[in-house]
Amino acid sequence: MKIGAVVLAAGGARRFGSPKQLPEIEGETLVDRACRTALEAGCAPVLRVLGAHAEKILERACPAGTGTFVHSRWDEGMGSTLAAGTSRLLELEPELDAILVLLADQPVVTVGLLKELEAGLPQATVVWCRHADINGPPALFSREHFDELRNLQGDRGAKAIAAKHAAATVLFPDAGWDIDSPETWQRFLASRR
């Protein structure tokens, strides 16, 4: 199965106060960590989608095998960013069977978790993660949903697509580590000691 990945890293990080794509864990930025994890899970191509703070992020090299797309209308919201990233990914590789959607600010996503998502795909056309009674990313969408992904608008992300189809779920108890503020980042770092 040929799976490409879109790593969403375009947000303005208003609550974080600085580019939240760039804090480092063991010398690796959050956005690079997400890209590397997707690559190690066998995704190709892997496309990081930037917007706010793109210039600062582009100052650093991305992992080999990762492409970059800068979405000029990132401020329209996650739906717009995902639509643009999906379109660009499919320009790079039109023969994909599925697209993995990852967020740059989820530092505990593992190759094993992404492989679990892939394992659920033959039985369902959408597989997403579940944490504390909430479904969300990372999520995997089969080819039949590519047009829906490309047509997302504004701040409405892919949850609506997954919710209206018989989506399978994979438990992701660590999804709570979604780095949105300096306090969350500090708690995350403290949990790793």
Domains and CATH numbers, the chain: 3-191 (3.90.550.10)
pLDDT of 131 higher than 60: yes
Segment 78-83 shows an average pLDDT of: 93
Q: Quick check: 84 and 69 in contact, CB under 8 A? A: yes
Q: Identify whether the C-beta of residue 100 lies closer than 8 Å to the C-beta of residue 176.
A: no
Mean pLDDT of 49-76: 85
Say which residue, 40 or 15, is predicted with more confidence.
Answer: 40
Query: Helices 111-120 and 30-40 meet at what angle, rounded to 10?
Result: 50
Q: Hey, what are 70's tokens?
A: 């800068």
List pLDDT tens digits, range 166-184. Answer: 789 998 876 555 666 667 7
Mean pLDDT of 60-68: 83
28-29 and 66-70: which strand pairing?
Answer: unpaired
**pTM of the shown model:** 0.87
The rounded distance, in Å, linking the Cα atoms of 159 and 139 is 9
d(CA 136, CA 140): 10
